Amino acid sequence: MSSEQGTTRHAVSVAVPVYNVERYLAQCLDSIQSSLGRRLQLIIVDDGSTDASRAIAERYAERAGADPSLPDVEIVAKPNGGYGSAVNAALDRADGTYVGIVEPDDYLDGDLFGELYAIAVETDLPDVVKSTYKRVWMPDTPDQRIWGSLLRHRGVRTWERGCTTLGESPELVRWHPSVWSAIYRRDFLRETNTRFIEAPGAGWVDNPFVMRAMCQAQRIAFTDDAWYCYREDRPGSSSVTKAPTLSLTRWLQMADEVAASRWSADEGVLASLASIGFRYASHLWDAPEAEDGQVRELLARVMNAIPKHVALSLDDVSPAAKQRYLAMTRQDGDVGGAGAYRLAMLRELLYSWRENGLYFACERAGLHRHAADAPKPR
């Protein structure tokens, strides 16, 4: 029977959406080793690559076919349709109890899927099993460093103490969506119609996917451990070559997912969503792109979608940003003093120092010039 008929052959099915990543693909595939062995299904989707990516994938598949400790590999070739289209193609062929994603310019440091599946079994197969990840900052340069993600040690209930929900743990969606540092129960995705938007390129389609999955999940198992290594700020990656309207469009789609969920009036979830909205807007407010009519319209839509009481309650948003919010939404209100904002920034500085060291804390705070002589993290 096929996966469409409901048969489960594998514990976890993993989508690897590939488009012209010959530089990184071999490392990525070699790193996907698991105690699950053949119970791990690897679906490599060649999304119309024009470089040697397909040949690299075929060599890996041939080697995996002869080694029972490696995953069960399938290669799917299709015309270029973008990240969302490639992942959806893999999900359509997946037959695992859970599904996951590895982006082809990233790599794993350890048995990500074996560990997450073991947590899933221990917690009676929740909808989502979520981990943190490792940030490979400025990869392949003399400045490369590996840091922990901003979600780590934020107080989210870990699986040993039971499953959580988005309402209890809104921090799960406050930072980078990190769609790939989790596994999702396949039946849950199908039942909730949780799929990727199909747009050209990468298109930030992970943001609304993660928000929908987290909003719809009844039970989420979380671990502060990290096995996924995410290459951040790689030249040419979607994180550094986005259209100015893209982040705002995706935020509005995330807001729609929250509005359609049981968390539509939850203060914690709304605060996390609003914090993201301010973060995206702040990157464009004073940029030349803000002169574009479409960007101005989207900025206004994002600000107007944030309830005033939520916007003014955010400690991590400066009084100046709140004042701009009030002006854009044509409302009056008390933005408060700078004390709460400064205290929030101090807490973030101390958090960053504790988790990743002084250099990272200064880099994140925009004080990297003062950190030039600081000890570098190992």
Q: Tens of pLDDT along 131-143?
A: 999 999 888 888 8
pLDDT of residue 235: 52
pLDDT of residue 244: 78
d(CA 160, CA 162): 6
pLDDT of residue 358: 86
pLDDT < 50 regions, the chain: 1-5, 236, 238-241, 368-378
d(CA 109, CA 133): 10
Residues 310-358: tens digit of each pLDDT: 999 999 999 999 999 999 999 999 999 899 999 999 999 999 999 998 8
pLDDT of residue 234: 55
Amino acid at 321: A
d(CA 40, CA 311): 44
pLDDT of residue 330: 97
